Amino acid sequence: MAWAGYNGGEIASRLATASARQYIEEKFEAIKPTTENIQNLIKEAMDYANKIVYQKSRENEELDQMGTTLEICIMYGNKVYIGHIGDSRIYRIRRNIIRRITTDHSYVEALVKDGTITREEAFYHPRKNMLMKALGCTKNIEPDITAKGFLPGDVILMCSDRTYKYATRRRNIQYN
């Protein structure tokens, strides 16, 4: 378990986004853009970003166990390809309906999923920020990789836990 943003989270976030973006930009033109190939590219980019963050954390004792969340979206054709690790979120807005696409990799999400606590209890749980998966904390990661349909007029919203927790508290976002 790890907390994103813990011990150098801002550094981890910058390293992860820059390295994943660079990886995708360098490799995308070389692949045949099939669903499988794009999903593999996203997985490889996340693995590469994890390697960079993990190595940096080993170079500096103050950054030990630093981690971050990472969301990757590639829109190609009529699909959005998603890589996700942590508790940042991706939503799809279609015809004024907001639907969460990703599932948090958090301790409280696991409790909600198994019925131990309610969604409302999760919001106030003392361990609500404890992550089960994050990028950079361990040598290997297991991100969620998926593809979803994308229609003209759809909007993809990528946001951090601060954003959606604020919106939820203000009742601007409803859970499914």
In the chain the domains, ranked by start, together with CATH numbers, are 9-169 (3.60.40.10)
Question: What DSSP assignment string belongs to the chain?
Answer: -B-TTTTTHHHHHHHHHHHHHHHHHHHGGGS---HHHHHHHHHHHHHHHHHHHHHHHHH-GGGTT--B-EEEEEEETTEEEEEEESS-EEEEEETTEEEE-S---BHHHHHHHTTSS-HHHHHH-TTTT-BS--BSSSSS---EEEEEE--TT-EEEEE-HHHHHHHHHTT-S---
Along the chain (176 residues), what's the average pLDDT of each consecutive run of 10 residues? 54 95 97 97 98 93 88 96 96 94 95 94 89 94 97 93 51 47
pLDDT of residue 161: 63
pTM for the full predicted model: 0.86
